[in-house]
Amino acid sequence: MTELLQHFSDWYLATLSQGGYWLIAGLMALESTFVPIPSEVIIPPAAYLAHTRGELSFIGVVLAGTLGSWAGASLMYWGARLLGRPLIMRFGRYVGMGQAKIELAERWCTRYGPPGVFFSRLLPVIRHLIGIPTGILRMDFRWYALATLLGSLLWCSVLAWLGTVVGQHPELLAGSLHRFFALVLGAAAVLGVLYYVFVQRVSARTGH
């Protein structure tokens, strides 16, 4: 998986100048579905190039990432809503969303509503799956869309800021852009584990 991610990163860095905002938005849309593309390797490199080369702008990178995330998340929501719970429960395990995860996510959405969607957009792994339970539960799409948009905006802004920090302080890289992104991915993975443990404990304490 690491080698595959490395190949993707190399391709992305080589293609970003030509693909521009459309490439960022498209990849972030895929990241918000079942496609395992970490946003941590999409937004920071774009912001880094925006700062060092001026080919892109910070605001443009953030907006492209935000709108792409919103589009992908909306697709997940409507897909789950139209397919319905029985089909999702039956085939979800093939895309990493087994019955236990779906039920846990449903309890999370029922308990926390749109604020839960907002915070879910800030967490790795979880953010691209939250559209399934919200679609199944038929959460008001207007609230879902707003929470998703705001959460995605904040997440993309943080990632872009990290990329800009590297652009301002190239010595942090010690000649290796990939090492910086590896650190970002590692931190994201830790956050994902902590989030999962937190949700499990909340679920156990509430008896849901």
Q: What is the pLDDT of residues 110-121, one digit of tens each?
A: 888 888 888 888
Measure CA of the first residue to CA of the last residue in the chain; give whole Å.
35
Q: Please report the pLDDT score of residue 167 as a whole number.
A: 64
69 contacts 148 by C-beta, under 8 angstroms: yes
Q: What is the pLDDT of residues 144-190, one digit of tens each?
A: 999 999 999 999 998 898 888 876 655 444 445 555 555 555 555 55
Q: How many CA atoms lie within 13 A of 119 on its CB side?
A: 13
Q: Which residue has the higher pLDDT, 146 or 52?
A: 146
Q: What's the gap between Cα 39 and its chain centre?
A: 6
Pick the range with the lowest mean pLDDT from 35-39, 55-59, 78-82.
35-39
Q: What is the pLDDT of residues 79-89, one digit of tens each?
A: 888 887 777 77
Unique residue bearing structure tokens 């000649």: 175
pLDDT band for 22, please (50, 70, 90 cuts).
Answer: very high
pLDDT band for 132, please (50, 70, 90 cuts).
Answer: confident
pLDDT band for 129, please (50, 70, 90 cuts).
Answer: confident
The alpha carbon dihedral of 120, 121, 124, 129 has a sign of positive
Q: Which CA distances in Å does 17 have to 48, 50, 165, 173?
A: 12, 10, 20, 21
For the segment 178-204, the average pLDDT, to the nearest whole number, is: 55
CA distance 30 to 193: 22
